Amino acid sequence: MRTWRQIGLAALAVTTLSGPLQAADIVIGIRSEPSSIDPYFHNLGPNNAMLGHIFDRLNDWTPKMDKMFGRAASSWKAINDTTWEFKLKKGIKFHDGSDLTADDVLFSYDRAANYTGGNSSFRTYTKGKTLKKIDDYTIHIMTEKPYPLMPNDTTTVMIMSSEAKGTGGKNKGISAKDFNNGTAAIGSGPYKFVEWKKGDRIVLEKFDGYKGPVAQPWDKITFKFIKSEPARVAALMAGDVDAIDNVPTSDVERLKKNPKISLSSGVSNRVIYLHMDQFRDSSPFVTTKDGKPMNKNPLKNPKVRKALSMMINRKAIVERVMEGIAIPAGQLLPEGFFGRSGKMQAEKFDPKGAKKLLKEAGWGDGFGLTIHGPNDRYINDAKICEAIGQMLSAQGIPTKVVTMPKNVFFKRASKGAEGGLPEFSFVLVGWGSGTGEPSSPLKSLLATHDKSKGMGASNRGRHSDPRVNKVLNEALATVDDSKRGALLAKATEIAIGENTGIIPLHYQVNTWATRKGLKFDPRADERTTGYDYTPVK
Amino acid sequence: MSVFIIRRLMQSALVVVIMSFIVFSGVFLVGDPVEILVSDDADQEEREMMIKSMGLDKPFLVQYGIFISKAIRGDLGDSFVFQEPALLLILDRMPATMELAVVALLIAIVFGIPLGVWAGLKPESLASKSIMTGSILGFSLPTFWVGIMMILLFAVVLGWLPSTGRGDVQIILGMPISVFSWDGFSHVLMPAVNLALFKLSMVIRLARAGTREVMHQDYIKFARAKGLKEQRIILVHVLKNILIPVVTVLGLEFGGLVAFSVVTETVFAWPGMGKLLIDSIGLLDRPIIVAYLMIIVFLFVLINLLVDICYSILDPRVRLQDIKS
């Protein structure tokens, strides 16, 4: 009797283990379609998210961006001030069966660095760096100056096969089109490219030869592009897709109550903040209280800037406008990221203190302002502008609110005025730090605008303080992690804490939704990646 | 006749050129595609390289001149976003839109004419009144809202039809077509009905008005007097006569159906030309916007030309006027 039962159990175990595993497919409805399969064509979120399935990078981030892990690299270290050594993992196969070696890495970095055409390249990460092959699995990267962010930069450039064949022309004879139709789309990532129907879907298939650290929970991943927000939510509720990204905040409450749906939210590396005109004596949208132009610009006074920051009730914005889905911000990156200042908290709502500060600055009577913002770029962007307009108006700074579509807004905000200068005086924008630490926003938003040095490229208020530049430059040349972290924190403390060069509002929190039975590990880099969805057991 | 056609063609060419200038300068004034496409991390040098590679560093008129000189040779430029020929990108999406438009048109005709005739024959009946009220709704409800409501009802609540996207495509006579499989048909049904609603209401109204007018004509009375069956009177004599205005209007409206299915395509994530246009406007992809509108102008000009030619064949007075002038 017992033996029979044992045999029965054994048979049952064998059938459940050896039976053909159910093919696991997932269909994900995403908002943004990538613009190319060519990994160096467009350095942009949707592209980087999609192509990370197909191509490996030397390093990559965990979803929370708190840890870097090697994808093609097995180890890396600085061997002197200006040389980094990267060891490659052995036995990585490309989708065509060939081996990934140092030659492929050199080929890839070369193609990325010299890419012509395309919409913004990866040169930001390859500039001033020389790659040298030591042996098939060892590479040295030489930098001009000590460059601590080298490992961070290797989380960006993807590695393609040097044997990929194209139809000729520039970019090593391989055009974006050769990638888009699949012939050159040969990576070593966990998923193979199957097809891209423009405007409709991208299909990926599990690569059986993959042995790397990225999970392969699915045999087939289909990304459907559903731009319209209600349609995306409806597609999930109807069961046409298994998961969606960018759930609108207004739908979150309703979806939470739906027993067939699970949500996952995670704070992103994106801070929403305000720029203030600090370079013109007569700023076009800073006026007297009754709207007449002025030849004095109060925003140049750090006390006035601080007072404006104190007039904004961040908690109310998060609770009312963002429906609780955001985190009030006091600096450039949320908790958990490298190089943050431990001292800085989100500015407290303090109208009395603000009035006192204004009086001290000689602007006790207030002045008029106009806030400009996009209305289709960040989560609830237009509503945030309206809320700020009301808060400032209530505290004696009558503020007009003007929002516009992003395709009109960004040109005017960056170079709408004569001479290619920013047009507005007070703007709402956001910044996601791709390198996972504050040097990128400090460099672009708060360092003095200087074309020759490539600093302050998005400094739309033209905040400028030599102390910030000095500390930042020192940080950028400090290889020691803890020292660099302290310097970055110091630069942030001066630029935002002392100067209020920008007014941070909140860190954006992104929400993904799946049908019950699945879960998504929310990504701080706002990427929607198929391999971060897993079935719940 | 040939003089007439040649003159019309020249007028049409002029319309296309003027249109291209308006669109080109319009998009130029609105914003800067580099600001939309560029990565946040890019420095000033990178931005300038992009501006240069897109040819946006040149003065506006030079940019337009380059565009025109290429356009004459049939090259409408490369899309800023995808950097593939704009014309090919649009033509690639055209079958999906055409399919949607044709199905919508069929729905409008197949349901619109019988309902309209019914409403015209029995104007006082409850059914007719409901049909007419329904047609007012069809006219006045915004497509976007109706689309979302349809998705909620048929896809989310009832689960009968897929909510978005296009079904499996088969190659039929060299064209990628999806309607002949159940999967494809179930996908096209909702967007097509959504797109057809407005046209359906129009056909109902045209058919009803036509029927009411025709019913009082002498030849109907004569047919009745002759003792013809009611069925034959309606199917042959009435229907034939009301079809003329319906066909004329639908012919012209078909252009609009193809060109401006933007809203429906966006709501249902239908991978057609309209979705491409609206995405391109969002990204300021000027070559696609300009090429798209030029194709549409061409389409309209062509339809108008065909209508004009038909008129001049049908009505000699049009031709005579033309010769005199």
Q: Going by C-beta distance under 8 Å and a sequence separation of 6 or more, which residues neighbour residue A63?
A: A266, A521, A522, A523, A524, A532
CA angle B309, B313, B318 (to 5 degrees): 80
CA–CA distance, A18 with B224 (Å, rounded to integer): 79
CA angle A485, A489, A492 (to 5 degrees): 140
The answer to which of A146-155, A432-441, B295-304 has the lowest mean pLDDT is: B295-304
CB pairs under 8 A between A and B: 162
The domains of chain B are located at: 89-285
Question: Is any Cβ of chain B less than 8 angstroms from the Cβ of A459?
Answer: no
What does the pLDDT average to over A359-369?
91
**Contact assignment for A410 to B37 by CB distance below 8 Å:** no
**Contact assignment for A124 to B272 by CB distance below 8 Å:** no
Q: Which residue of A has its CA nearest to B80?
A: A119
- Using an 8 Å CB-CB cutoff, list chain B residues near A121: 46
Task: Flag whether pLDDT at A17 surpasses 70.
Answer: no
**pLDDT, position A424:** 94
**pLDDT, position A13:** 45
The residue count for chain A = 537
**pLDDT, position B281:** 87
- Using an 8 Å CB-CB cutoff, list chain B residues near A515: none
Longest dimension (CA), chain A: 99
What does the pLDDT average to over A460-481?
91
Task: Flag whether pLDDT at A305 surpasses 60.
Answer: yes
Q: Report the gap between the CA of B6 and the closest CA in chain A (Å).
A: 39
**pLDDT, position A18:** 38
**Contact assignment for B164 to A177 by CB distance below 8 Å:** no
Of the candidates A36, A120, A415, which has its C-beta nearest B38's C-beta?
Answer: A120
CATH architecture assignment, domain B89-285: Orthogonal Bundle (1.10)
What does the pLDDT average to over A444-448?
93
Q: Which residue type is seen at B15?
A: V
**pLDDT, position A136:** 93
Q: What is the DSSP string of A450-518?
A: BTTTTB-TT-TT----HHHHHHHHHHHT--SHHHHHHHHHHHHIIIIIIT--EEEEEEEEEEEEEETTE
Question: For residues B199 and B253, is the Cβ–Cβ distance under 8 A?
Answer: yes
**pLDDT, position A470:** 94
Q: Going by C-beta distance under 8 Å and a sequence separation of 6 or more, which residues neighbour residue A83?
A: A140, A141, A142, A143
C-alpha distances (whole Å) from A18 to each of A207, A217, A219, B134 are 21, 18, 18, 59
Task: Flag whether pLDDT at A133 surpasses 90.
Answer: yes
**Contact assignment for B84 to A33 by CB distance below 8 Å:** no
What does the pLDDT average to over A9-38?
68
Q: Which residue of B has its CA nearest to A47?
A: B39
Q: Which residue has the tokens 């027993």?
A: A259
Q: Which residue of A has its CA nearest to B276?
A: A199
Task: Flag whether pLDDT at A23 surpasses 80.
Answer: no
Phi first, then psi, for residue A32 (nearest 5°) are: -110, 130
Question: For residues A381 and A403, is the Cβ–Cβ distance under 8 A?
Answer: yes
Q: What is the DSSP string of A12-75?
A: HHHHHHHSPPPP-EEEEEES---S-SSTTTB--HHHHHHHHHHSEESEEE-TTSS-EEESSEEE
**Contact assignment for A444 to B40 by CB distance below 8 Å:** yes
- Give which of B85, B57, B66 is closest to B20, Cα–Cα: B66
Q: What is the DSSP string of B137-173?
A: HHHHS-HHHHHHHHIIIIIIIS--S--SS----EEET
Q: Report the gap between the CA of B198 and the closest CA in chain A (Å).
A: 21
Q: Classify A422 as helix, strand or coil.
A: coil
What does the pLDDT average to over B94-114?
90
What does the pLDDT average to over B270-286?
88
**pLDDT, position B322:** 56
- Give which of A89, A54, A90 is closest to A186, Cα–Cα: A54
Question: For residues B47 and A124, is the Cβ–Cβ distance under 8 A?
Answer: no
Tell me the Ramachandran region of residue B77: left when phi exceeds 0, alpha when psi lies from -120 to 50, beta otherwise: left
DSSP A349: P
Question: For residues A484 and A148, is the Cβ–Cβ distance under 8 A?
Answer: yes
Give all strands (DSSP E) within chain B, no chain letters: 170-172, 175-177
Task: Flag whether pLDDT at A173 surpasses 80.
Answer: yes
Angle between helices B273-282 and B86-121 (to 10 degrees): 120
**pLDDT, position A165:** 86
What does the pLDDT average to over A484-498?
93
- Using an 8 Å CB-CB cutoff, list chain A residues near B147: 231
Q: Which residue of B has its CA nearest to A431?
A: B40
pTM for this model (two decimals): 0.86
Mean pLDDT of the residues in chain A = 89
A479, A481, A486, A488 alpha-carbon torsion, rounded to 10°: 60
Q: Which residue type is seen at A128?
A: G
**Contact assignment for A432 to B155 by CB distance below 8 Å:** no
- Using an 8 Å CB-CB cutoff, list chain A residues near B275: 199, 227
What does the pLDDT average to over A212-238?
92
Residue A317 banded pLDDT, cuts 50, 70, 90? very high
Q: Which residue of B has its CA nearest to A38?
A: B82
Question: Is any Cβ of chain B less than 8 angstroms from the Cβ of A76?
Answer: no
Task: Flag whether pLDDT at A70 surpasses 50.
Answer: yes
Q: Which residue has the tokens 């302290």?
A: A486
What does the pLDDT look like over A72-131, one tens digit per residue? 999 999 898 899 999 999 999 999 999 999 999 999 999 999 998 888 889 888 888 999
**Contact assignment for B164 to A224 by CB distance below 8 Å:** yes
Q: Classify A261 as helix, strand or coil.
A: strand
Among positive and negative, which fits the CA dihedral A89, A44, A382, B147? negative
Task: Flag whether pLDDT at B168 surpasses 90.
Answer: no
Task: Flag whether pLDDT at A8 surpasses 60.
Answer: no
Question: For residues B146 and B140, is the Cβ–Cβ distance under 8 A?
Answer: no
Task: Flag whether pLDDT at A174 surpasses 70.
Answer: yes
- Using an 8 Å CB-CB cutoff, list chain B residues near A376: 282
What does the pLDDT average to over B184-188?
88
What does the pLDDT average to over B211-229?
84
**Contact assignment for B83 to A227 by CB distance below 8 Å:** no
Among positive and negative, which fits the CA dihedral B284, B288, B291, B292? negative
